Amino acid sequence: MIPSIDTIDLAPWCHRMRVAHPIVYNSEYPRVHGGKGAWHLFRYHDIRYVLDHHEIFSSEFISRKNHLGNSFLATDPPRHGKLRSLVAKAFTPTAIAYLESWITSQCESLLQPLLSAGKMDFIDAFARQLPKRTILQFLGLPPEITAQLLPQEIDILGKNHSEDPGSLQLMEERISQPFYQYISQYQQGITSGHNIIAGLIDANIDGEKLTLAELLGFCIVLLSGGIETTEAFLGNAMYTLCKLPALQEYLIQHPASIPAAMEEVLRFRSPVLNFHRIARHNTIINGIEIKAGELVGLYSISANRDPEVFNNPDEFNIWRNNSISLSFGHGIHSCIGSMLARMEARIAFSVILKHMSGIGIQEDAVLSLSGSPITYDLKTLPITFRNRHIQ
Ligand code: HEM
């Protein structure tokens, strides 16, 4: 269904689908968590309808054999709200403000060794590094646990694993081992600590502790949700700057506009292609019958370019009102980490544009998408640039 992954720009395909096949079933669609077949929705209002009706469209479509299937991302009300509220306070702008200077120093340490070379693969050197470091710092686990997680490739959303759902489980098992070790040690009193995971181990809902499956579900959703999406965001923002040299110059002169530019990147090159729901019972969306148990894929990337909602949707315009974009979802499951992702991107590009100008894609670069069915991101982004401190 998704066109050749050699196509970087999915907007023309999204436009065709919105016009010709706004709600279409693809029996061959490989579900990341096993099985085949899904409806695909492309229009903004149809997608909003699904997100507004969680009593019809459930988030419990991921097997509970997967850690992600035990997370609040994949849990319906009323338990969803109870689980989410255990961590929500940690994500408010005030709560994450303490990370500001730490993220700035990480950006500096990633960039400084590369500035004199005047070139780098931005994905490998920066976009893949910063979000992982940030989430691990945010989780605040003991150094020996963080050290085990730092070198791991985090790919729960499907860049590299095959269509075999077992491969996803294996990857989750590998990534969850250090968390499992920490949870066991904490429960036995071998280690202590004040961090998000320790808070969850101590927490209870209606007098009951969380199960181990729920604790590991939290670990995996925070790690994966926070890393792979933000990697895509940073890469897409850099790609946009390479394509728009005038925007680069403008932002160097007007750094206060960086947050507005990042907000438009989220709409224009949404880091997430699509996310899913499953119909609880037979229902109808815009005249199309969806049967109970069928999977529904919501192409937020297409909704964000819907001309019924956004004027001149293919124009990158940092002054437009894009507050209703669906990049972070919408409704009860809307992204809990959106402020953290925005803060990372704002700091990252403030530091980047302090040091670099004239950023462009290397002439011999052959770009392709990562191939993830969930994220919209580039495999590599080789860039050249001028070091602003060298005349
Ligand atoms: C640009 C970066 C990001 C994008 C584009 C993004 C996108 C999304 C989207 C579309 C959803 C809704 C999924 C659904 O409705 O099924 C979501 C939910 C979620 N995101 Fe993010 N996300 C980003 C960054 C983060 C970060 C930094 C974290 C931090 C850990 C995070 C953690 C989560 C969690 C835990 C949920 C589930 C919320 C719930 O079910 O109540 N995300 N995200």
Alpha carbon distances (Å) from 194 to 186, 190, 198, 310: 11, 14, 6, 44
Task: Give, using CA atoms, the residue closest to atom 1 of ligand 1.
Answer: 230
Residue 100, pLDDT > 60, answer yes
341 Cβ contact list (under 8 Å, min separation 6): 226, 229, 230, 233, 328, 335
- Encode burial over 328-344: b for 16+ CB neighbours within 10 A, e otherwise: bbbeebebbbebbbbbb
Q: How far is the CA of 355 from the centre of ligand 1 (A)?
A: 30
Q: For residue range 258-310, what is the model confidence (pLDDT) as tens digits?
A: 999 999 999 999 999 999 999 999 999 999 999 999 999 999 999 999 999 99
Residue type at 251? L
**Cα-Cα-Cα-Cα dihedral sign, residues 240, 245, 246, 252:** positive
Q: How many C-beta atoms surround the C-beta of residue 324 within 10 A?
A: 13
Spatial strand order in the sheet of 57-58: 23-30, 36-41, 295-298, 275-279, 57-58
Q: What is the mean pLDDT of the chain?
A: 93
C-alpha span between 242 and 159 (Å, rounded): 24
Domain residue ranges of the chain, discontinuous segments joined by +: 11-387
Lowest mean pLDDT among 131-140, 155-164, 316-325: 155-164
Asked if residues 70 and 217 have their Cβ atoms less than 8 Å apart, the reply is: yes
Asked if residues 261 and 318 have their Cβ atoms less than 8 Å apart, the reply is: yes
Candidates 1.10.3720.10, 1.10.540.10, 3.90.320.10, 1.10.630.10; correct CATH number of 11-387?
Answer: 1.10.630.10
Q: How far is the CA of 384 from the centre of ligand 1 (A)?
A: 31
Q: How far is the CA of 101 from the centre of ligand 1 (A)?
A: 23
Residue 229, pLDDT > 70, answer yes
Residue 7, pLDDT > 80, answer no
Q: How far is the CA of 336 from the centre of ligand 1 (A)?
A: 6
Q: Which of 128, 335, 374 to mutate to test the pocket of ligand 1 (most atoms within 8 A of CB)?
A: 335
Q: For residue range 197-208, what is the model confidence (pLDDT) as tens digits?
A: 999 999 999 999
Q: Of ligand 1's atoms, which has the minimum distance to the CA of residue 73?
A: 40
C-alpha span between 89 and 134 (Å, rounded): 17
- The pLDDT-based confidence of 5 (bands split at 50, 70, 90) is very low
130 Cβ inside 6 Å of ligand 1: no
Task: Give, using CA atoms, the residue closest to atom 20 of ligand 1.
Answer: 335
Q: Of ligand 1's atoms, which has the minimum distance to the CA of residue 331?
A: 15
182 Cβ inside 6 Å of ligand 1: no
Position 163 scores a pLDDT of 60
What tokens were used for 198?
């320790």
Task: Give, using CA atoms, the residue closest to atom 15 of ligand 1.
Answer: 333
Task: Give, using CA atoms, the residue closest to atom 17 of ligand 1.
Answer: 335
* DSSP string of 151-180, one letter each residue: TS---TTSSS--S-HHHHHHHHHHHHHHHH
What is the DSSP code (8-state) at residue 26?
Answer: E
Residue 379, pLDDT > 90, answer yes
Position 63 scores a pLDDT of 86
C-alpha span between 329 and 315 (Å, rounded): 22
pTM: 0.96
Q: For residue range 30-42, what is the model confidence (pLDDT) as tens digits?
A: 776 677 899 999 9
69 Cβ inside 6 Å of ligand 1: no
pLDDT more than 70, % of the chain: 95
**Alpha helices (runs of H) in the chain, residue ranges in sequence order:** 11-20, 44-52, 79-88, 93-96, 100-115, 122, 130-139, 143-149, 165-187, 196-202, 212-243, 245-253, 258-268, 300-303, 338-355
